[in-house]
Amino acid sequence: MINFAKIMLRTNMLQRIPIKSVLLLIVLLHLGNTLAAQDCNIKLKGQVLDESINEPLSNVSISIVGQPVSYTDSLGNFEINNLCKGHVHLFIFHIGCESKKVFMELKRDTFVTLKLDHHYHAIKNVVLKGDAHNDESIRSIGLNEILASSNKTLAEATATLPGVAILKTGNNVSKPIIDGFFGNRVQIVNDGVLLNSQQWGNDHAPEIDIAAAGEITVIKGAEMLSYPGNALGGIIAIKSKSIGQDPHLHGIANYFFDENGRGQTANVLLQKGGKKMGIKWVGTYKNFGDLKSPQYFLTNTAKREANTALQIEKQWSSKWQSHLNYSFYHAEIGILIGSHIGNLTDLQLAINSNKPFNTKDTFDRTINAPRQNVNHHFLTLSTNYFANTKNTYSITYNLQKNNRKEFDIRRGGRSSVASLSLEKWSNYLELKRNVQINPRVNADMGIQQTYELNRTDGNTGIIALIPNYAQYNAGAFICTNIRKNQSAFNIAGRIDFTNLTAFPITKTLPKVYAKQQKVFLNKSLGISHQQQLLRKWSVKSSLLYVERAPSVSELYSGGLHQGVSGIEEGNDALKPEKSIKAQTSIQKVMHHHWTFKTELFVQNVRNFIYLQPQQDFRLTIRGAFPVFDYQQTNALLGGANAMIVWENDKHWENSFKVSYINGRNLKSKEKLIYLPPASFTNNLTYRTLFNKKQNELSANLGFNYVLQQTGLTATQDLKAAPPSYFLANVGLNYQWKLSESELLLGIACSNLLNTVYRDYLNRQRYFADEQGRNVQVRVMVKF
Amino acid sequence: MKLFNHSFALVCCLFILLVSACKNEKPTVENEEETITTVQLKFTPVGGGQSIDFKYQDVDGNGANPPIYTTDLLDSNTNYTVQVTLLNEASNPVENITDEVQSEGVDHQFFYMLQPTSIATFQYNDKDDNGDAIGISTLCQTKGKSEGKLKVILRHKPNKKAMEVSVGDITNAGGETDIEVEFDFKIK
């Protein structure tokens, strides 16, 4: 997506017009009316600054169709003469930056200040902004990275950020882990609204197509409390970019071929803006066959995905603005056939087998049982009212429908009948007000209501693990931003009322669905403080208290959970979790070349909910099964991430990351399971320009070293943690800038050495090796 | 502000409408047609005589009441034909699951495992459409007076071509366990 800045021109002389845009700030200055603009005699002058350090950027190419290319000088200044009155597209290009297209209406000689986010590869927001959405605890990936990974899942795309890891069930199902938390404790916010699906299952991936995203950020500070869901770990927020006012049709077409799995991914984005209305459409199709580990095919790991998204923005008047977002996600996912096991004996056999059972010797695209079929509809209608310079109001309504079907290998021709089929509806209504109390204080406040309804399909022939339920949630929050000189405070609080009515099956005879009701009241509080010590030092700290009500799965699940080969029993006596988290991040920039960043956190969770394996196995006709009960304990987690980035002005960039996390169950004194093991990542990039600085070549070489997870006792897991492993990857991209478009060709190879390894956080590690070498070819056209 | 009030009212109405439209009803308990509650082994002496029944029964399924085992003493040095019957007694009328397994014979195989292995032998006495064993019918030959355990396993989608699977060794069979029950095995 190209970022089109909004430009408003007024007739007043020497009028300064600030323009709001995420990555671009443009100030237009009227240079004097005396040079009454003749048709093709307009001068456009400007300066380009590095957004993060506010210093001029030299050698930025600025082009307008039909004009020779101009470059900024050492002071970041440029000048283009002999322009005609009317609409122009400015094409701004700089090595290592995301290219920008700016649409503007030229009426007279004009001066523009353009800010480019030059450090997007490294660490953002060195400069103190004090804005809730631009602070240090928010880390994000931008459009270029999103486009480059749009053949991957949301979790894989965000895992490049410090503190984020992935919990996988095979290669097709992955969910993000933030600071050691996942599932119900991490929320995904799409377009400002919580994704409401079945996130309780470790084998349930979030229903998000990242190709429609403009920016993906991880939120861990106090501003997290302006969203419902009481995320103990953090929030992953997906934002689509504003369409803007460019009245021309623009688009992006992106195609990937992955050799491993013979996968094809195609994305198309089309958009057309305007003063009154803008419209954008995104479509994605993915078709992957069986993946291959270095030594064998991972039979039945094929996948299909078809997604579409529509965004409409409408400017009713200068004060009124509405938008509509609709997206549909559809996925059919095969689950490794060798991981489908019955009782404990089967499990032991499957674990000890050196090749997964039923592995085929040939490549296959068909998806057989066990498989998942997921459909998710997401509709948002939102209206903003800019009442005056101080007050903005907004109403947001959202409707979601999630349909999840899981198919097992069944007898009697029932493999085509889902063994788990859930349909969930959710309704969301939000009223929000933003008020600028004074130039230093800004507050966001709102009320949010969610009503969700989950129904299980009565025709599966199996009692569903999750019962039918209805849940109503009402929440209110306030989030205040206070700026003072070189520091900023963010104080937030929220309160949530939850009323849950569920129909779980009784554990005693006769088995019936008995109505159960639960009411919870949760309070959360957070404070963040950011301080710029010296010019290039920045420190951000926050203290958060969050309460989370137990979810339906934790309270009432009952039955055999195939994915974990165990009988899971909910516990209706669970109390809300109460978490206190203290975190700090320190960042230092040295001579424009070196950036150091350290993040530390410690978190204590009272009433931490977890699955405790029981002493006795339960004997059923299918053999013995381990029984897991939901229980509560107190848990303590702590971790550190460090990052060192070195940049050479022109060509080289190297980033090195280390992350470590540990957690303990304070009652049993055991280490918590599924914590990411310590890891080291290094990525070296070389960039250079060709052909009058119009074309860019970039090459990168990356290493990833993951240590073996330690400290777990033998009874905690089915199989000991896999040994440490080392992976290498390379990539080469060449980007052509044509008169009105861009073309990118890329080739990349992951797991270059075809390493045989297993990852601790992949639940398929009990049965199979990870994916082997993959060569990927990519073509992208932007116009 | 008027437009705001109007749209606010509209959105609220929409929310209430959808909330009230979604009434949650108390569901009825599913008929779990795939459930097997009962495993019967009928031991009939080859030369004729009184047959002996082994039975495992767990009508209420997972949890609740524990399963009931019924066994009897077998004669020493005797050849028996053994016939398996699988029932779902939780459904009304009682369903015979054996037929379902028989008709999907290529996807199923029973395994009979004795502990200690020397007290008797089991031999497959039936074939699926591919000519591989199913194990609904077997021949059992008892040895001298002894006591042990008999484990009966039914595998769904095993690899019948894997090594030793055709002679009743489960090690390389794979697949998913549909039944795994263990009886006392006593020879008088």
The DSSP secondary structure of A509-534, one letter per residue, reads SS--B--EEEEEEEEEEEEEEEEE-S
Residues in chain B with CB shorter than 8 Å from the CB of A338 are 174
How many domains does one find in chain B? Answer: 1
The mean pLDDT value of chain A amounts to: 84
Degrees, nearest 5: CA angle A341-A342-A343: 125
Which of A116, A132, A164 is a domain's end point?
A: A116
CA distance A124 to A136: 8
The partner residues of A187 in beta bridges, in order of sequence, read A235
pLDDT for residue B36: 85
For residue A43, give its domain range. Answer: 17-116
pLDDT surpasses 60 at A735: yes
**pLDDT category, A123, cuts 50, 70, 90?**
very low
What is the nearest CA distance from A313 to chain B, expressed in angstroms? 16
What is the nearest CA distance from B63 to chain A, expressed in angstroms? 7
Answer whether B21 touches A (CB < 8 Å).
Answer: no
pLDDT surpasses 70 at B31: no
A-chain residue closest to B31, CA distance: A461
The answer to whether residue A347 sits within a structural domain is yes
Q: What is the CB neighbour count within 10 angstroms for residue B107?
A: 18
Q: Do A427 and B157 touch (CB under 8 A)?
A: no
Q: Are A377 and A400 in contact (CB under 8 A)?
A: yes
CA distance A326 to A283: 12
> What is the number of CB-based contacts under 8 A between chain A and chain B?
159
CA distance A189 to A205: 14
Residues in chain B with CB shorter than 8 Å from the CB of A401 are none
**pLDDT category, A728, cuts 50, 70, 90?**
very high
Same domain, A625 and A754: yes
What is the nearest CA distance from A628 to chain B, expressed in angstroms? 13
Q: Do A515 and B26 touch (CB under 8 A)?
A: yes
Q: How are beta strands A77-83 and A391-407 bridged, if at all? A: unpaired
**pLDDT category, A632, cuts 50, 70, 90?**
very high
Same domain, A710 and A563: yes
Which of A91, A116, A141 is a domain's end point?
A: A116
The answer to whether residue B93 sits within a structural domain is yes
Residues in chain A with CB shorter than 8 Å from the CB of B58 are 620-621
Give the C-alpha distances (Å, rounded to integers) separating A575 from A145, A422, A572, A607: 41, 26, 9, 7
pLDDT tens for residues B128-152?
Answer: 999 999 999 999 999 989 999 999 9
CA-based nearest residue to A160, from A176, A173, A147, A180 = A176
What is the nearest CA distance from A399 to chain B, expressed in angstroms? 9
What is the nearest CA distance from A388 to chain B, expressed in angstroms? 11
Mean pLDDT of B119-126: 93
The answer to whether residue A727 sits within a structural domain is yes
Residues in chain A with CB shorter than 8 Å from the CB of B4 are 383, 385, 393, 395
CA distance A12 to A444: 33
A-chain residue closest to B87, CA distance: A621
Q: How are beta strands A61-63 and A55-56 bridged, if at all? A: unpaired
The answer to whether residue A313 sits within a structural domain is yes
Does the N-terminal peptide bond of residue A626 adopt cis geometry, omega within 30 degrees of 0?
no
Helix (H) or strand (E) holding B141: strand B137-142
Mean pLDDT of A618-640: 86
Mean pLDDT of A166-172: 88
Q: Do A399 and B177 touch (CB under 8 A)?
A: no
CA distance B37 to A710: 43
State which of A120-124, A215-219, A450-454, B22-26 shows the largest mean pLDDT. A450-454
Answer whether B176 touches A (CB < 8 Å).
Answer: yes
**pLDDT category, B9, cuts 50, 70, 90?**
low
Helix (H) or strand (E) holding B8: helix B2-21
Q: Do A349 and B12 touch (CB under 8 A)?
A: no
Which residues, including other chains, have CB under 8 Å from residue A483's CB and lie 6 or more apart? A130, A440, A441, A489
Structure ipTM: 0.74
Q: Do B66 and A619 touch (CB under 8 A)?
A: yes
What is the nearest CA distance from B155 to chain A, expressed in angstroms? 9
Q: Do A560 and B27 touch (CB under 8 A)?
A: no
3-class secondary-structure state, position A91: strand
Mean pLDDT of A384-410: 90
What is the nearest CA distance from A323 to chain B, expressed in angstroms? 13
**pLDDT category, A33, cuts 50, 70, 90?**
very low
Mean pLDDT of A393-403: 94
Give the C-alpha distances (Å, rounded to integers) separating A722 from A387, A757, A760, B94, B129: 59, 8, 6, 48, 42
Q: Do B100 and A412 touch (CB under 8 A)?
A: yes
State which of A135-149, A550-564, B135-149 shows the largest mean pLDDT. B135-149
pLDDT tens for residues A237-255?
Answer: 998 888 878 888 999 999 9
Q: What is the CB neighbour count within 10 angstroms for residue A39?
A: 9
- Token pair for residue A778? 């990519």
Residues in chain B with CB shorter than 8 Å from the CB of A470 are 22, 24
pLDDT for residue A628: 84
Where would I find the beta strands (DSSP E) of A439-515? 441-456, 468-484, 487-503
pLDDT surpasses 70 at A514: yes
Residues in chain A with CB shorter than 8 Å from the CB of B62 are 559-560, 567, 618, 620
pLDDT for residue B126: 92
CA distance A19 to A244: 12
B-chain residue closest to A462, CA distance: B32
User: What pTM was estimated for this model as a whole?
Assistant: 0.84
Q: Do B7 and A429 touch (CB under 8 A)?
A: no
The answer to whether residue B141 sits within a structural domain is yes
CA-based nearest residue to A319, from B145, B141, B51, B3 = B3
Which residues, including other chains, have CB under 8 Å from residue A611's CB and lie 6 or more apart? A568, A628, A629, A630, A631
CA distance B171 to A151: 40
pLDDT for residue A83: 84
Q: Do A468 and B180 touch (CB under 8 A)?
A: no
Mean pLDDT of A586-612: 88
The answer to whether residue B113 sits within a structural domain is yes
Same domain, A249 and A112: no
User: Which class for A144: exposed (0-12), middle (13-18), buried (19 or more C-beta within 10 A)?
Assistant: middle
The answer to whether residue B12 sits within a structural domain is no
CA dihedral over A507, B59, A623, A618, signed as positive or negative: positive
pLDDT for residue A91: 80
Q: Do B174 and A338 touch (CB under 8 A)?
A: yes
pLDDT tens for residues A294-313?
Answer: 999 999 999 999 999 999 99
pLDDT for residue A35: 40
CA distance A769 to A766: 9
3-class secondary-structure state, position B6: helix
Q: Do B8 and A431 touch (CB under 8 A)?
A: yes
Residues in chain B with CB shorter than 8 Å from the CB of A399 are 18
Among B14, B15, B30, beta carbon nearest to A463: B30
Among A320, A511, A622, beta carbon nearest to B178: A622
The answer to whether residue A762 sits within a structural domain is yes
Q: Which residue has the higher pLDDT, A229 or A542?
A: A542
Which residues, including other chains, have CB under 8 Å from residue A19's CB and lie 6 or more apart? A5, A6, A7, A8, A25, A26, A27, A28
pLDDT for residue B53: 93
CA atoms within 13 A on the CB side of A257: 6
Same domain, A102 and A241: no
Running DSSP on this structure, what letter comes out for residue A14?
T
What is the nearest CA distance from A725 to chain B, expressed in angstroms? 29
B77-80: which pairs have CB atoms within 8 A and are 24 or more residues apart? B77/B142, B77/B143, B77/B144, B78/B45, B78/B46, B78/B141, B78/B142, B79/B45, B79/B46, B79/B47, B79/B139, B79/B140, B79/B141, B80/B43, B80/B44, B80/B45, B80/B46, B80/B52, B80/B139, B80/B140, B80/B141, B80/B142
pLDDT for residue A14: 29
pLDDT for residue A555: 93
B-chain residue closest to A396, CA distance: B11
Residue of A386, A388, A411, A430 to mutate, interface with B, max B Cβ within 10 Å:
A411
Expressed in percent and rounded to 5, the helix, strand and coil fractions of chain B are 20, 40, 45
Q: Do A621 and B56 touch (CB under 8 A)?
A: yes
Among B30, B58, B171, beta carbon nearest to A458: B30
CA distance A191 to A212: 11
The answer to whether residue B1 sits within a structural domain is no
**pLDDT category, A134, cuts 50, 70, 90?**
very low
What is the nearest CA distance from B160 to chain A, expressed in angstroms? 11
Q: Are A347 and A365 in contact (CB under 8 A)?
A: no
Amino acid at A747: I
pLDDT surpasses 90 at A43: no
Q: Do B22 and A399 touch (CB under 8 A)?
A: no
Q: What is the 3-state secondary structure (H, E, C) of A32-80?
A: CCCCCCCCCCEEEEEEEEECCCCEECCCCEEECCCCCCEECCCCCEEEE
pLDDT surpasses 50 at A13: no
pLDDT for residue B26: 59
Which residues, including other chains, have CB under 8 Å from residue A542's CB and lie 6 or more apart? A137, A220, A221, A222, A490, A526, A527, A528, A529, A581, A582, A583, A584
CA-based nearest residue to A759, from A721, A713, A714 = A721
pLDDT surpasses 50 at A597: yes
pLDDT surpasses 90 at A452: yes
Mean pLDDT of A572-600: 89
A-chain residue closest to B107, CA distance: A411
The answer to whether residue A94 sits within a structural domain is yes
Chain B, 110 to 149: residues with Cβ < 8 Å from chain A are none
pLDDT for residue B23: 54
What's the CATH number where A311 sits?
Answer: 2.40.170.20
Mean pLDDT of A278-290: 95
Among A385, A509, A567, beta carbon nearest to B64: A509
The answer to whether residue A156 sits within a structural domain is no
B-chain residue closest to A516, CA distance: B26
Helix (H) or strand (E) holding A138: none
Residues in chain B with CB shorter than 8 Å from the CB of A463 are 29-30, 32
How many domains does one find in chain A? Answer: 2
Considering chain A, what percentage of its residues have pLDDT values greater than 70? 90
The answer to whether residue B26 sits within a structural domain is no
For residue B159, give its domain range. Answer: 35-187
Mean pLDDT of A402-413: 84
Which of A116, A138, A163 is a domain's end point?
A: A116
Answer whether B104 touches A (CB < 8 Å).
Answer: yes
Q: How are beta strands A234-239 and A186-190 bridged, if at all? A: parallel
Degrees, nearest 5: CA angle B157-B161-B167: 100
Residues in chain A with CB shorter than 8 Å from the CB of B1 are 385, 387
Helix (H) or strand (E) holding A426: strand A420-438
pLDDT for residue A776: 96
pLDDT for residue A143: 79
The answer to whether residue A133 sits within a structural domain is no
What's the CATH number where A21 sits?
Answer: 2.60.40.1120
The answer to whether residue B122 sits within a structural domain is yes
Among B34, B100, B156, beta carbon nearest to A461: B34
- Token pair for residue A254? 């992106």
The answer to whether residue A224 sits within a structural domain is no
pLDDT for residue A119: 47
pLDDT for residue A716: 81
pLDDT for residue A137: 39
Residues in chain B with CB shorter than 8 Å from the CB of A620 are 58, 61-62, 67
The answer to whether residue B52 sits within a structural domain is yes
Give the least confident one: A105-119, B91-105, B126-140.
A105-119
The mean pLDDT value of chain B amounts to: 84
Residue of A196, A621, A628 to mutate, interface with B, max B Cβ within 10 Å:
A621
3-class secondary-structure state, position A156: helix
Give the least confident one: A4-13, A401-410, A477-486, B18-27.
A4-13
A-chain residue closest to B19, CA distance: A451
